[in-house]
Structure 1
Amino acid sequence: MATEITARPLVELTLPENRAMRLVTQAFLAVAGTVFLAMSAKTKVVLGPVDMSLQTLAVFLLAAAYGSRLAVATVLLYLAEGAFGLPIFQSTPEKGIGLAYMLGTTGGYLAGFVAMAAIVGYAADRGWDRSFFKMLGAVLVAEVVMTAMGFAWLAYLIGAEKAWQFGVVPFIVPDLIKVLLAAAIAPAAWSLLPKHR
């Protein structure tokens, strides 16, 4: 029974027992999560000719905290907001809004966020977010899946060679840094709550 109590995502500690209040809290967390994702998309770190957003790190952290169901629901809500025309993605509105933007060069990566949330959230549901190495494995798999999805869509639009050159290579090192950060932050958060370990 002890495993069932501890193997749950961090957000479970804040959810009320009452079913109605639990749903209201989850809805609030989902909306707050979309704001967090939008802010991370607009936060850019300039690395030479490449602008890196903090969005993949935000998805990792959200999934680790929320668990798979709430994290996937939050990312889907975020994508729905973007599809309806809210300028919440990295290069909106300057590169278009809504579905026009989502079907552009970043479309595969945006879809990959859902897969990332599911994989990292699944790991958090099983308590892997308490261990750096287990979390590192989950986050690394999620990163590879998201990159593969982004590359596949970009290759369809501009060809495999250009997709690799512009859509993968410049982001390998920055994304590995974000993978390491996410793998370290999740267990660190749990270490601040020793009574729940």
Structure 2
Amino acid sequence: MAIAPARSLVESYAPEGTAARYATFGALALLGSIAIAVAGKITVPFWPVPATMQTLAIFVIAAAFGRKLALATLAAYLIEGAAGLPVFTNGGGLAYFAGPTTGYLAGFVIAAGLTGWAADRGLDRNAFKLFAVNLAGTAIILLLGAAWIAMVFGSDKALAWGVGPFIATDVIKAALAAAVVPAGWQIANLLRR
């Protein structure tokens, strides 16, 4: 009887016992949310939304974790922020969800789900395919971010403030993330030999 391949890179290293497996996944979701928060503190000051390293962290986490664990990680991150922990780029609390970054936060969740879904189907093993998925996720993040900017500041500001400053850096981050996880698979395969 053939053993089914792991659905994600993380699943290939998770312990076999149910309790240990779920404890590992819970710890990874917490660590992933912390990584996203730390990446949000690495900023290039734009106004009204700074450029951060969050999309890089989110794409790497989603590709390594798979859809379910990636979405759990993003849920933990948003819950931490809503509870007032300073995990967002400029703080935390429920009021933050009415600020200029709300569209990007929603985009993070959808993009993580998309990249995680692709990883569950094995696209995380090929850098070019993963890059294409990450680009689609980047477009979703920028689209929702710009839509929210348009609602808050007016439609004339959507492209100038919500998309323009981020295109080049987001494409680079999507490419970097697309290179990291396939490399992780290659290392995992070497270690198994």
State the TM-score, normalizing by the size of structure 1.
Answer: 0.90
- 1:168 maps to amino acid: V
Number of the residue aligned with 1:30: 29
Q: How does 1:8-157 map to 2 (within 5 A)?
A: 8-45=7-44, 51-92=50-91, 97-157=92-152
Aligned pair 1:189/2:189, yes or no?
A: no
Partner SS state of residue 189, structure 1: helix
After superposition, residues 156-195 of structure 1 pair within 5 angstroms as: 156-195=151-190
The alignment partner of 2:148 has SS state of helix
Residue 5 of structure 2 aligns to a residue in which SS?
helix
Aligned residue-pair number = 191
Matched residue SS, 1:35: helix
Pick closer, same or farther for the CA change 1:77–1:174 going to 2, 3 Å: same
2:5 partner letter: I
Distance 1:87 1:17 in 2: 35
Question: Match of 2:99, SS?
Answer: coil
* Residue type at the aligned position of 1:44: T
Q: Deviation of residue 46 (structure 1)?
A: 5.8
CA distance in 2, matches of 1:170, 1:50: 9
Task: Give the superposition deviation at 1:3.
Answer: 9.2
Q: What is the letter of the counterpart of residue 66 of structure 1? A: F
**Gap runs ≥5 in structure 2:** none
CA displacement, residues 30-75 of structure 1 (integer Å, 9 cap, x when unaligned): 111111111100112468x984210010000000110000000110
CA contact (8 A) 2:49 2:101 kept: no
| Shift of residue 187, structure 1, vs aligned partner | 1.2
Question: Over aligned residue pairs, what C-alpha RMSD do you find?
Answer: 2.1
Structure 1's unaligned 5+ residue stretches are none
How far did 1:129 drift?
0.7
Report if the CA contact (8 A) 1:41-1:89 is conserved. yes
Q: Deviations over 1:88-121 (max 9, x none)?
A: 11112xxxx3111122100010011110110000
8 Å contact kept, 1:50–1:170: no
CA apart distance, 1:28: 0.8
Provide the TM-score with structure 2 as the length reference.
0.92
What amino acid is aligned across from residue 144 of structure 1 in structure 2?
Answer: A
Residue 14 of structure 1 and its aligned partner are, at CA, apart by 1.9
